[in-house]
Amino acid sequence: MPELQLTKWQLVRDGDVITTPHARLWPVRLPDGSAAMLKVSTETEERNGHRLLRWWDGDGAVRLLAHDHEAVLLERAQPGGSLRAMSIAGQDAQATALLCTAAERLHRPRSTVPEGLVPLQDWFQALLEPKVALSPLLEQCRSLASALLATQIEVRPLHGDLHHDNVLDGGGARGWLAIDPKRLLGDRAFDYTVLFCNPDLCGPDIHVATQPAIFDRRVDQVSALAGLERTRLLRWIAASAGLSAVWFLEDGCNADVDLAVAPMALRQLARTGG
C-alpha cells in the first residue's frame, strides 16, 4: 500500500487489495469513518481520469476526494447490483437503460471544459493508422471512422469506456456512478457505443452482445433514450468496434466480440441505406 498517501490522507485500510491490469486499489476508511477507495494506476489514461472526475463533481460519477501524482482517492460505491450480472441474467434492457442514464448525466452542460482531454481523433489513431493489416471489414470501419471524426457534432467531454463494469451502484440517492473515465473530447454519440460490445468483453464466456436479437433491440433502445439518429448511432458503433478490434489484434489477442458486433451494425446500415 502507498504509505505516503496513507499517512498524508490519514487513511485506514478496510479490505484486501484489488488488482486490475493497470492498477491496484485499496478499500480504505477516511478519518470520519466513511468508505473510500485508494487507486494507484500505471496507465496514463487512468492516471489522468481525475480531470473529468473533478469536473463532474460526483454528478453521475464517483466523487474525487483527493489526487496526488499517480494516486487518487475516490468515493467508494456501496455494494449493490451489477450491470454485468443484470445483463447476463436476462435483464439486458434494464442494464442498457441504466447505462444510457449514466451517459446522459455525464453529458449535462457544465462549466468550462477541463484541460488535458484527449480529442476523439487522437483516440482513433490505432484504427486510422493501423500497425496491423486490416481485413475488408476493418477497412470499412476505418472509412466510417474517418468520415465521422471529420463531421462531429454535439462535442463534449466523454467518459470513453462506459460499459457494464464501469458503472457501479452508488446506492440510494447517489444512483449508478461511473468509474475509470478515459477523459476524451468528442461527439457524444461515441459514449453510447462501448456498451454494444459488452458485457461480453467484461469476462470470459459471456455471450450477450453478440446475439443479433439483443443487438437490434439495443439499437432501438439507445437511439430512443439518447435521442440519437439511428444511422449516426450505427456508424459510430461500427467505428468503435473496429477500433477495439485493432487494439486487441495489435496485442496479439482475438477480437471475436468486436468482429461480431461491427458486421451487425454494418448490416443494419445497409438495410437503412446508411
pLDDT digits (tens, 9 = 90+) for 25-75: 899 999 998 899 999 887 766 667 788 999 999 999 999 999 887 788 999
Architecture category of domain 3-75 in CATH: 2-Layer Sandwich (3.30)
Mean pLDDT of the chain: 93
Residue 233 is predicted with a pLDDT of: 98
Choose the catalytic residue: 14, 122, 161, 258.
Answer: 161
Rounded alpha-carbon distances, angstroms, from residue 223 to 49, 232, 259: 27, 9, 22
Residue 44 is predicted with a pLDDT of: 66
Domain with CATH 3.30.200 in the chain: 3-75
Domain with CATH 3.90.1200 in the chain: 83-272
Q: Whole-prediction pTM value?
A: 0.93
Distance of CA 67 to the CA centre of its chain: 21
Catalytic residue status for 161: yes
Q: Which residue has the higher pLDDT, 79 or 267?
A: 267
Q: Is 73 helix (H, G, I), strand (E, B) or coil?
A: strand
CB 221 within 8 A of CB 97: yes
What's the CATH code, domain 83-272? 3.90.1200
Q: Is 201 helix (H, G, I), strand (E, B) or coil?
A: helix
Q: How does DSSP classify residue 113?
A: P
Q: What average pLDDT does range 234-258 have in this prediction?
A: 97
Q: What is the pLDDT of residues 164-174, one digit of tens each?
A: 999 999 877 88
Closest CA to 104 of 56, 63, 60: 60
